[in-house]
Structure 1
Amino acid sequence: MNAESTSAPRSRPSVLRRMLSAAAAIAVATFLALLGTGTSYALWNGEAVVDASSVSSGNVGLTINGAAAYALTGLDAERLAPGRSQAASLAIANTGTTRLSVTVSGTEVLAQSNSLAGFLTASLVPAADCAVATFVPAPLAGFTTTAAPVVLEPGETRQFCLAISLNAAAPPAAQGGGATFAMAINAVQVR
């Protein structure tokens, strides 16, 4: 029995030593692998300093005949008769620092007498086409130019003609009538 009892305790420490040796070998191999990876990783890193910079935003500005809100003058309504038109000049300017896409986004009739507004049409064309014969009128209420925007560069001013026409079929009841309207000119930044 002495031989058996001495051999059993000796085999357990050998197994334990082998396991510890294997674990130590795996730990050393993992450490070396990570050490090699860390060295490779460092080869791909770099750093640089960026000098101080400033960033500023642009701004949007639009004027009509030099004003942000312009009361239309130059239309001689006294001479507006069925089938005739009157035109007024508008200078639309981009006073901001970004390009603008400009349209008439809507026209609203604010007041009227003798149901005149229903017989009025409007047109907005470049000043070069200011001859009233070149206008293609659209109903005043709800008049827009959104299908044909005009792009204005920063600081650019363009001349336009706004024509108001009275339908040739306007009834005698519209005679002596009046209409007050507001026209919204919309400007959107263009990239």
Structure 2
Amino acid sequence: MITEYLRFRTTPSFSSDPSLFAKLREGARAAGIVNQSYGIGVEDKEVLHWIIQFDQGFGPKDFVWDEAKYGDFTKEVMKIAQEPPQSAFMHFDDDKEPFAKEVTDAPVTELAAIELKEDLSEEEASKTLNDIRSIVRKAKNGKGACWGADNDKPKNVYLFVGWESVEDHVAFTKTDSFKEVQGMMKNIISGVKMGHVAFSDHVQQ
């Protein structure tokens, strides 16, 4: 299964005219995207995060946007985006667990954009990230965890963790388990950016 993660800084039109983004979501749904989640950053309330699941038996190359009905996709996006969206396609297949839906169903989602060390092997990265995922899944008031690597830039990895609240995540950072996670992270990453998002699912009108 392929998951696309998009993020972009919004324009005032995003808030003043919700129909603009609703039209984009509806266009994606009409093209066969059944499951999509979206939300504004908790810390940075101008940034929109949009997760699209290609879980209906077709991939991005088979995606057909109805331009006649929904307009040119890029032009429609730029009505609500200050710059072109950053996009990452992550492949979840039989070698990895699928995207954990409970992560975006949680009241708040921790989203970490990780840059792996250049000399790190794929095997070592996968093992360490799987170990981190296992630890985080056991955290108090945690609501699942999963990770995926950008298909085009495999050194860019995204870690998604569901929490009951931001405060629960903060509480976890004061535990011995988090210290263990920190030690693992130091061995594999060259940089990381983290934030929280409260996701909602697109509901077909």
TM-score (norm 1): 0.25
TM-score (norm 2): 0.24
